[in-house]
Structure 1
């Protein structure tokens, strides 16, 4: 879940705008007790949008920050919505890309400070689908997701899913028609990137043993491409029959 925290009237107005735009988000205006509440949200894995001073965020979260592989993404915005700063989990938690998306929506400036933006990223697609989903539906969904992520199929290294989809004919045919490897990963492998998911589904977990097929498969595959940690660049998007996510990693 996305927790939007605002401390001023102007920040509350901006928070309402973001709450209306972002699915699975909730605005909290001057939550009390402040530090304990925000720390609890963070420790529970909620992504945070903090509309306040950066110093307040750092002093509040410093006691509960673990590491870049576990911590949820945190963005800091000024109350006018002019700047969006990915404060924590820029690469690993997807905060950098999330900041770019929020900045685009607000016509703001994303302030990216993490290293390696100049390196050539490697991209991997993760997909899930209901049994018997057609290649045509999967292709249309993939093409729409690529367009929204401002990517082309030539930039994609592989199509990926969970091992129970290894015989899924639509996915097999899609990868073959695009001349891309179709790779399937088991739930133990996919569980290693669980902390980096932008959203989690209890239903999916109870069905296949991971909290998300598309994002998990994309992250794990991207990680294998370079040996470095990966990040989500296009969060899970779904139709009534399929899901798609895109992740990237940078060469060491």
Structure 2
């Protein structure tokens, strides 16, 4: 379960908006000015709940310090400012999944983002994010989906993730789409390689998917084409585990997801708390 802890009215409003979209995937509770504060928060942490704090980082550190174990056992902890502009994976970044969790929260906040409001940003302080990341796009679609619809979806997803086309290394899909005209022409138009994978290959990253569709699995042999393909290509290019920067977004005929990985050969093992 996800617990959102907030101490201000502005933070409470953000917590309610965020809980509304998080609840579609996982049970979510809001603790608004909980009393006794330290005991309530520490109990939630010890019980293994994923925690989102909308407050000062110092408060979180001082409150959780007595119950910290190590990055292999502690649950993920995120810290947000009350405007929802910055998301910090504070504890258990890689092993506990806080980095991935933070990426998902950024994507959800940007879905909620109103016109004129600054988009949410991921503030990740572990070693790997200082390296040049590899970004890959995964796409799935109905047969004969128009190129224009695919391009519109891709550009919208890049905008959500705060990325440019120049940062994308490849457009990917499942091998049954190797001859999909819209995907082929889109990749050619954008000057990106179009790469496809077998269902067996894509199942290797099944554990990294944000969502799983039994219908898609029964149809093509994987639980999600866009997320799987993006993750697989990023992982292969970096020779290290990938993560989703943007979970699957879709139109009536197509899906798109964006993954990221950092080259293993120049990285350092991080020591996130």
- TM-score of the superposed pair, with normalisation by structure 1: 0.73
Structure 2, unaligned runs of 5 or more: 32-39, 55-59, 265-273
What residue in structure 1 maps to residue 17 of structure 2? 17
What residue in structure 2 maps to residue 250 of structure 1? 262
| Mapped partners of 2:211, 2:65: distance in 1 | 23
Query: How has the CA–CA distance of structure 1 residues 232 and 122 changed in structure 2, closer, same or farther, with 3 Å as cutoff?
Result: same
- 1:82-93 matches, cutoff 5 A: 84-86=87-89, 87-90=91-94
Query: How has the CA–CA distance of structure 1 residues 160 and 144 changed in structure 2, closer, same or farther, with 3 Å as cutoff?
Result: same
Larger radius of gyration: 2
Aligned with 2:128: secondary structure?
A: coil
| Mapped partners of 1:120, 1:128: distance in 2 | 27
Report deviation, 1:74. Answer: 3.2
What residue in structure 2 maps to residue 203 of structure 1? 215
- 1:101-116 matches, cutoff 5 A: 101=107, 112-116=124-128
Aligned with 2:129: secondary structure?
A: coil
State the number of aligned residues: 235
- 1:170-249 matches, cutoff 5 A: 170-249=182-261
What residue in structure 2 maps to residue 4 of structure 1? 2
| Mapped partners of 1:61, 1:201: distance in 2 | 35
What residue in structure 1 maps to residue 155 of structure 2? 143
Report deviation, 1:162. Answer: 0.8
**TM-superposition CA deviations, 1:168-226 (whole Å, max 9, x none):** 11111111222221111112211111222222222222222222111110011011112
Aligned with 1:117: secondary structure?
A: helix
Does residue 74 of structure 1 match 2:76?
Answer: yes
Q: Is the 8 A contact 1:193 1:216 kept in 2?
A: yes
Match of 1:131 among 124, 143, 148: 143
| Mapped partners of 1:23, 1:241: distance in 2 | 26
What residue in structure 1 maps to residue 28 of structure 2? 27
| Mapped partners of 2:221, 2:65: distance in 1 | 34
Query: How has the CA–CA distance of structure 1 residues 127 and 111 changed in structure 2, closer, same or farther, with 3 Å as cutoff?
Result: closer
Structure 1, unaligned runs of 5 or more: 43-47, 67-72
Query: How has the CA–CA distance of structure 1 residues 146 and 9 changed in structure 2, closer, same or farther, with 3 Å as cutoff?
Result: closer
Report deviation, 1:22. Answer: 3.9
Query: How has the CA–CA distance of structure 1 residues 156 and 75 changed in structure 2, closer, same or farther, with 3 Å as cutoff?
Result: same
Aligned with 2:130: secondary structure?
A: coil
**TM-superposition CA deviations, 1:7-32 (whole Å, max 9, x none):** 7887876643321244624323689x
- TM-score of the superposed pair, with normalisation by structure 2: 0.68
What residue in structure 1 maps to residue 130 of structure 2? 118
| Mapped partners of 2:219, 2:47: distance in 1 | 32
